[in-house]
Structure 1
């Protein structure tokens, strides 16, 4: 879609970006959305006091409380959902080559 516009003429909402310290992690699942789909795990993450949901096929995430993370997310009626494959470790540029 050129220019970020939908067919109806409405502009697409830009993705929200977040960064912060991971304070707490909880996992639920596995869930099966439909037949033939791999199991999904729902991770509830508390980042800088805000609660986010991250749903992926991985039972374990490569993060621990205290890690700085970055991500893209969207706000929906059921809460804040982190986009699939957008969650990563934040690297402080000032300490990168040390």
Structure 2
């Protein structure tokens, strides 16, 4: 659970070294830390509890989606083996002939 509160006085957090300005938000997983800063008057005593969103892993694109050559400018293409050819059609033909 993450606890979030509005900053009332500017301060530097001793644990993280991060500076917080008036009107910003202070958030922490430690409810006691937020309550302590509230007692000192640095943050608002009204604390909001935020449930962290679950982490969703994204699949990496297949390498088959990428062409096996790279455009290097001026109509030139570099093949996977380091060879350079002029023209996209010639690059495709060079790959198919392997």
TM-score tier by shorter-chain length is under 0.3
Q: Compute the TM-score of the two structures, normalised by the length of structure 2.
A: 0.21
Compare relative contact order (CA 8 Å, sep 6+) and give the higher one, 1 or 2.
Answer: 1
TM-score, normalization: structure 1? 0.21
Q: Tell me which protein shows more helix as a share of its residues.
A: 2
Return the index of the structure with the highest Cα Rg: 2
Say which structure is richer in strand.
Answer: 1
